[in-house]
């Protein structure tokens, strides 16, 4: 288990480090397991890999539709992984000297899922990445992909209402989890390794013993859904979903209090769950904001961070279980996703303007 960082972050000192420019509106963003790269997905149907050490950008071309789900399987051992993250922190802190050749990237696998229902496996560190394996996984959109903590299983979910498990090694189907009955928007493995949660359009969060396929319990995030009778359509879903690194908390986010679904009139909402008790705790922006929280992360030391867009573009921060945000930061574009670096000292958002934005999260004091 990664134990970075050692000092609590100070949300009020968050600052923009740099934009990572692409040009096509972005949909998702994730750091690789070693923290060297930021991966983004865009409306141009590509993934982009930004090397945070060198600034190099590499396209992953192969999907025929949009991608939002990305999962990573490290191929190095844990000791090497920790060292790599340390190196990434150093490189980030000082910038990588032009005279110094960057270290060779450690190997890892990326699995991405698109809105045509396809999963693609890639060698994440490859100089010229090409699809390694393609699996027709879902009927309709793949909305999220996750890797089990041991790296052996990939989970995907989508608009066919299914959660599917796959062998990370060869893409073979392992198991299908049924029961949502509507679009499944997101999923995440518990860091302990035995459980998987999936969350749907209607805010039902299912907690699975994924090895047996048995449903353990359901958690209530229904505040993230509404049937808007005026527009005769459902609105909502868990747009972001994540566990704390120690597995003690789960967070999901989206939109609530919807008064006009088709204009996105509602308020961002993060719901956290104490994993043991399963009780929902709503977190809302302190200042009024109209829109959706698209991405959420839980810092290892307890800070909850969410990004979104609507009437403006913002990132919000919460400490512990306090309902009101302690700080909000305007960002340059609608934050369609948010990812926390494994070192815990920075995070990124995927901008609807075609740029990812990398932010520094300094420690207190």
Partner 1 sequence: MQTCSYACHSADHDLSRRGFLASAALGAFGVLGVGPLGRANAAGDLAKSGKRVLIIYLGGGVSQLESWDPKPGTDTGGPFRAIPTSVPGTHISELLPHTAKQMHRLALIRGINTAEDEHNRASNLILTGRRPEPAIEYPQLGAVMARLLDSDKQTLPGHMHITPGGGSGFGKQDATFLGPRFASVTLGDGKPPADLARPGGLTSAADLEREALRKKLNARFAKSRRSAATDAYTESFDQAERVSKRADIFDVTAEDPKLADRYGRHDFGRHMLLARRLLEAGVSCVRVTHANYDTHHENFDFHIEQLGEFDRPFAAFFDDLADRGMLDSTLVICLSEFGRTPGINHLYGRDHWSKAWSIAMGGCGIKGGAVIGKTNANGTAVVDREVNAGHLFHTYLSAVGLNGTKNFHPNDRPVTIADPTAATIKEVLA
50 in Cβ contact with 40 (< 8 Å): yes
Q: What's the CA gap between 91 and 112, in Å, rounded?
A: 27
Among 341, 347, 345, 344, CA closest to 316:
347
Q: What's the CA gap between 76 and 135, in Å, rounded?
A: 25
261 binds partner 1 (CB under 8 A): yes
Q: What's the CA gap between 119 and 114, in Å, rounded?
A: 7
Q: Is 197 helix (H, G, I), strand (E, B) or coil?
A: strand
Near partner 1 by CB under 8 A: residue from 73, 120, 135, 235:
235
Q: What's the CA gap between 349 and 329, in Å, rounded?
A: 12
Give the binding range for partner 1 (CB under 8 A) out of 38-46, 130-138, 166-174, 299-307. 38-46
Shortest spacing between CB 309 and partner 1, in angstroms: 6
Shortest spacing between CB 334 and partner 1, in angstroms: 4
C-alpha pair distances (Å), 159 with each of 137, 138, 237: 11, 8, 12
Q: What's the CA gap between 362 and 301, in Å, rounded?
A: 13
194 binds partner 1 (CB under 8 A): no
Determine the size of the site formed for partner 1 (CB under 8 A).
35
Near partner 1 by CB under 8 A: residue from 10, 17, 44, 194:
44
* Closer residue to partner 1 (CB): 256 or 334: 334
307 binds partner 1 (CB under 8 A): no
* Closer residue to partner 1 (CB): 140 or 149: 140
Near partner 1 by CB under 8 A: residue from 64, 99, 100, 277:
64
Shortest spacing between CB 115 and partner 1, in angstroms: 4
61 binds partner 1 (CB under 8 A): no
Give the binding range for partner 1 (CB under 8 A) out of 28-36, 46-54, 168-176, 258-266. 258-266
Near partner 1 by CB under 8 A: residue from 1, 15, 101, 230:
230
Residue with tokens 């390694």: 132
What mask, x for binding partner 1 by CB under 8 A, covers residues 308 to 337?
-xx--x-------------------xx-x-
Shortest spacing between CB 14 and partner 1, in angstroms: 22
Q: What's the CA gap between 92 and 338, in Å, rounded?
A: 19
Site residues (CB under 8 A) for partner 1, limited to 124-153: 140-141
Q: Is 301 helix (H, G, I), strand (E, B) or coil?
A: coil
43 binds partner 1 (CB under 8 A): yes
115 binds partner 1 (CB under 8 A): yes
Near partner 1 by CB under 8 A: residue from 19, 171, 191, 264:
264
Q: What's the CA gap between 18 and 349, in Å, rounded?
A: 11
157 binds partner 1 (CB under 8 A): no
Shortest spacing between CB 233 and partner 1, in angstroms: 5
Q: Is 35 helix (H, G, I), strand (E, B) or coil?
A: coil
Q: What's the CA gap between 283 and 286, in Å, rounded?
A: 9
Give the binding range for partner 1 (CB under 8 A) out of 171-179, 226-234, 276-284, 296-304. 226-234
Near partner 1 by CB under 8 A: residue from 2, 17, 24, 126:
24
- Cis upstream peptide for 5 (omega within 30°): yes
Dihedral angle at the C-alpha atoms of 19, 25, 28, 31, nearest 10 degrees? -30
C-alpha pair distances (Å), 274 with each of 18, 168, 242, 278, 293: 34, 29, 12, 5, 20
Strand partners, 67: 114
Q: Which residues would be at the binding site for partner 1 (CB under 8 A)?
A: 24-25, 43-45, 64-66, 114-116, 140-141, 159, 230-235, 260-264, 291-292, 309-310, 313, 333-334, 336, 352-353
């Amino acid at each position: 288990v990664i134990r970075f960082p050692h000092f609590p972050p100070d949300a009020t000192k968050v600052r923009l480090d740099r934009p990572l420019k692409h040009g096509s509106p972005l949909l998702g963003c994730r750091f690789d397991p070693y923290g060297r790269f930021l991966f983004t997905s865009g409306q141009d149907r590509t993934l982009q890999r930004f090397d945070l050490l060198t600034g190099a950008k590499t396209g992953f071309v192969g999907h025929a539709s949009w991608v939002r789900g990305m999962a990573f399987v490290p191929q190095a051992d844990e000791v090497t992984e920790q060292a790599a993250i340390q190196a990434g922190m150093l490189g980030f802190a000082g910038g990588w000297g032009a005279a110094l050749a960057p270290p060779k990237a450690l190997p890892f696998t990326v699995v991405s899922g698109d809105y045509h229902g396809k999963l693609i496996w890639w060698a994440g560190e490859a100089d010229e990445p090409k699809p390694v394996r393609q699996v027709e996984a879902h009927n309709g959109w793949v909305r999220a992909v996750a890797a089990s903590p041991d790296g052996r299983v990939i989970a995907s979910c989508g608009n066919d209402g299914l959660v599917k498990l796959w062998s990370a090694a060869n893409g073979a189907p392992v198991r299908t989890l049924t029961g949502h009955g509507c679009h499944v928007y997101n999923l995440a493995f518990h860091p302990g390794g035995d459980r998987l949660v999936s969350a749907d359009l209607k805010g039902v969060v299912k907690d699975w013993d994924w090895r047996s396929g048995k449903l353990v319990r359901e958690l209530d995030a229904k505040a993230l859904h509404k049937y808007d009778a005026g527009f005769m359509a459902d609105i909502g879903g868990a747009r972001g979903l994540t566990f704390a690194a120690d597995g003690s908390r789960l967070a999901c986010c989206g939109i609530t209090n919807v008064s006009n679904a088709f204009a996105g009139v509602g308020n961002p909402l993060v719901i956290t769950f104490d994993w043991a008790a399963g009780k929902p705790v709503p977190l809302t922006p302190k200042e009024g904001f109209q829109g959706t929280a698209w991405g959420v992360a839980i810092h290892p030391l307890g800070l909850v961070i969410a990004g979104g867009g609507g009437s403006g573009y913002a990132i919000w921060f919460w400490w512990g279980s306090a309902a009101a945000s302690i700080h909000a930061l305007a960002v340059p574009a609608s934050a369609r996703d948010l990812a926390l670096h494994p070192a815990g000292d920075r995070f990124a958002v995927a901008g609807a303007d075609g740029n990812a934005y990398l932010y520094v999260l300094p420690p207190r004091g």
